[in-house]
């Protein structure tokens, strides 16, 4: 399988439609409410450099520094990062996922704390290093503050 772009089912249902179904951040809660977003995809024959579009935080929300990435064993030399288009490691730097792993954002992403989403920016997981030859699961969760 070639390097590709993949969309989570919920992402596809919400944002790859015309018009996109978007909800303003004010509908999620009160000031400083936390929103935990978790989407799961299955990667089959995933080449290095593939991108998963995971979710799109609501307009006006800000990242609070909490980001976690869970994966199955993605095979030797496969690494994953969490970011946005143009800055693939904004929220989490490339981390090895050769074994089943839970990875949390670390100090490398401290400059991104407080990053404000515009309602059009997608959170992506990007692979690098090597090809993952079997079906595996990639799950990303991040929290944002809604003001």
Q: Are 95 and 89 in contact (CB under 8 A)?
A: no
Count of CB atoms within 10 A of residue 22's CB? Answer: 12
Averages of pLDDT over each 10 residues, the chain, 147 residues = 65 64 54 50 73 86 85 79 92 80 77 90 88 76 81
Amino acid 117: pLDDT:
92
Q: Which residues contact 17 (CB under 8 A, 6 or more apart)?
A: none
Q: Are 75 and 132 in contact (CB under 8 A)?
A: yes
Q: Please report, in angstroms and rounded to a whole number, the separation of the first and last CA atoms in the chain.
A: 42
Residue for token digits 């000031």?
31
Amino acid 127: pLDDT:
85
Amino acid 68: pLDDT:
85
Q: How far apart are CA 28 and CA 4, in angstroms?
A: 32
Q: Sign of the CA dihedral 110, 85, 102, 58?
A: positive
CATH class for the domain made up of 5-17+30-146: mainly beta
């Amino acid at each position: 399988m070639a390097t590709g772009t993949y969309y989570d089912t919920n992402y596809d249902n919400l944002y790859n439609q015309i018009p996109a179904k978007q909800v303003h951040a004010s509908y999620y809660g009160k000031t400083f409410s936390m929103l935990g977003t978790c989407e799961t995809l299955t990667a089959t024959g995933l080449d290095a450099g593939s991108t998963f579009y995971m979710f799109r935080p609501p307009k006006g929300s800000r990242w609070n520094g909490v980001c976690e990435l869970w994966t199955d064993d993605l095979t030797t030399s496969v690494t994953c990062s969490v970011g946005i288009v143009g800055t693939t490691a904004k929220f989490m730097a490339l981390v090895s996922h050769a074994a089943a792993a839970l990875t949390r954002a670390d100090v490398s992403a401290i400059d991104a704390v407080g990053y404000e989403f515009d309602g059009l920016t997608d959170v992506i997981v990007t692979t690098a290093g090597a090809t993952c030859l079997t079906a595996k699961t990639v799950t990303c969760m991040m929290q944002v503050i809604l003001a």
